[in-house]
Amino acid sequence: MKKLKEYTKEELETLNYDDIAYLILEEKKKKMKISDLFNKVCEVLELDEGAYADYIADFFELLTTDKRFIQLNDGYWDLRSKHSEKIVIEDEDEEYEEIIEDNDEEVEEDEDDYYDEDNDDDDNDDDLKDLVVIDDEDEEN
């Protein structure tokens, strides 16, 4: 990869702010505050102080959406490739037991949701009180 000094002014003008910031952080090999980093970008592009005020918010948005950069504590920014992410691996057995418990609770809740409290067997007896049974032999007479 070329260094910033090796780019012509025309080449630099075709680069995005985040690409220039990437080159700056790559060469400096240290983290920088966003204000210092954008000042350096403006310096490289020979932009006036008005441009700094006009575009610092856009520059911040560029860095937050560009996966090459990472925001560190105290407002510092650096290249993500220089930092490893801490990955926490939980014990799978404990997680599996929790899932089983959660599923059991869901099943119990689902059964309660479909249970009709108004429909008791005692109520069915009242429905049958007016029922008349006709025997085939009685029907012929």
Look up the pTM and report it.
0.55
Phi, psi of 77 (to 5 degrees): -125, 150
**pLDDT tens figures, 6-50:** 788 888 888 888 888 888 888 888 888 988 998 898 888 888 888
With a cut of 60, say whether residue 60 has pLDDT above it.
yes
Query: Are 91 and 65 a contacting pair, CB within 8 Å?
Result: no
pLDDT at 104: 46
pLDDT at 62: 87
pLDDT at 103: 47
Tokens 């407002």 correspond to 75
**pLDDT tens figures, 84-140:** 766 666 665 555 555 555 444 444 455 555 555 555 555 556 677 777 777 776 555
| Residue 79 β-bridge partners | 69
DSSP state of 74: G
> CA angle 79-80-81, nearest 5°?
90
* Domain architecture of the chain: domains with CATH: 4-82 (1.10.10.1250)
Query: Are 48 and 89 a contacting pair, CB within 8 Å?
Result: no
DSSP state of 76: E
pLDDT at 106: 47
DSSP 3-state assignment of 64?
helix
pLDDT at 99: 56
